[in-house]
Amino acid sequence: MKIKVLIVDDSALIRSVMSEIIGSQSDMEVVGVAPDPLVARDLIKQTNPDVLTLDVEMPKMDGLDFLEKLMRLRPMPVVMVSSLTERGSEITLRALELGAVDFVAKPKLSIQSGMLEYTELIADKIRAAAKARVKPRQIASSEVGRGGEGVALPLIRNPLTSSEKLIIIGASTGGTEAIKDFLMQMPSDCPGILITQHMPEGFTRSFAKRLDGICKISVKEAESGERILPGHAFIAPGHSHLLLARSGANYVTQLDQGPPVNRHRPSVDVLFNSAAVYAGKNAVGVILTGMGKDGALGMLEMKKAGAHNFAQDEASCVVFGMPREAIAVGATHEVGGINELPGMVLGYLAAHSSRALRV
């Protein structure tokens, strides 16, 4: 059966382009188009779509208000369509918190040469959304900023403070919320963290800023040549691969604008491979929810180099793609739900801290 897609966008031109893109795929069909959420509401009842594409900024009803009501009353996979602006990125991140599965930038209609690649991107995201576990998201009052109560931390008496140990994280579809859930449980003196999340340029800065305001650790978009210290997390910018490197005895960040790997830049495999080379057994790898296989082979290299690796389990993933591939190639040591993984990682680090300090 074909994937039934309902398109909601206030622009007639975008509705036409999206209809053409989706209609060109043999495994999906457009069952309706709506210029605003009010029309969409009726079409959802009539067509019972498998996936909804939703513009984040529309007349008559704000896209976020519509999404919040939809995820509360009739949860379904939603792919947000966003403009590549600071406001667009902020709205999109909020949409992901509310339960949207993924997002895609609005097509650049003036660049015909890039439409084939864009078509493949949209099609892949819709296919992943159709298989995703829809998890409505409500922001708890306990999610406060650094220094507040926050999420209860695991009972670890002496968290590791050595910068020798590093946590290396990769994620894709559904990863913004998974990364947030993970980082919210990190104590202020946890090991330095490097993160690659598949996101376009512009969105990663807003994502890092958002996390920095609610986590006990410092979170920022990575720049090249920054020293990696405890209590700090660095997110790969949307325009570059993030790599681990060394400067003397110190771990530092390195950015590279080389070609995409596994169709992604930034790529999780690039980050994981660099961690295998420069951190070895001092690295702890974590692969979270995501579409595709990016990160699986890089995590296997980390394991061969002595790293201890964790994967998110299928039940808590939005899309069990990347973790499944990593598990399948034998790259992981432990598997757990997103609520349990932070404690599992911190427990491992606490149990192996003395050995790590001798390296």
Has 353 been annotated as catalytic? no
Catalytic residue among 9, 55, 198, 267: 198
Nearest-Å Rg of the Cα atoms of the chain is 20
CA–CA separation, 53 vs 89, rounded Å?
16
CA–CA separation, 332 vs 344, rounded Å?
13
- Tokens 């512009």 locate to 202
CA–CA separation, 143 vs 128, rounded Å?
29
The residues near 200 (Cβ < 8 Å, ≥ 6 apart) are 84, 105, 238
CA–CA separation, 104 vs 96, rounded Å?
12
Peptide bond into 77 cis (omega under 30): no
The H helix count followed by the E strand count for the chain is 12, 14
Has 264 been annotated as catalytic? no
Catalytic residue among 206, 294, 313, 316: 294
Q: Which sign does the torsion angle of CA 24, 174, 88, 53 carry?
A: positive
Q: What are phi and psi of 175, to 5 degrees?
A: -75, -25
Catalytic residue among 172, 240, 267, 274: 172
Bridge-based pairing of strands 241-247 and 250-256 is: antiparallel
DSSP one-letter code for 191: P
State both tokens at 293: 């296989």
Please give the positions annotated as active site: 172, 198, 294
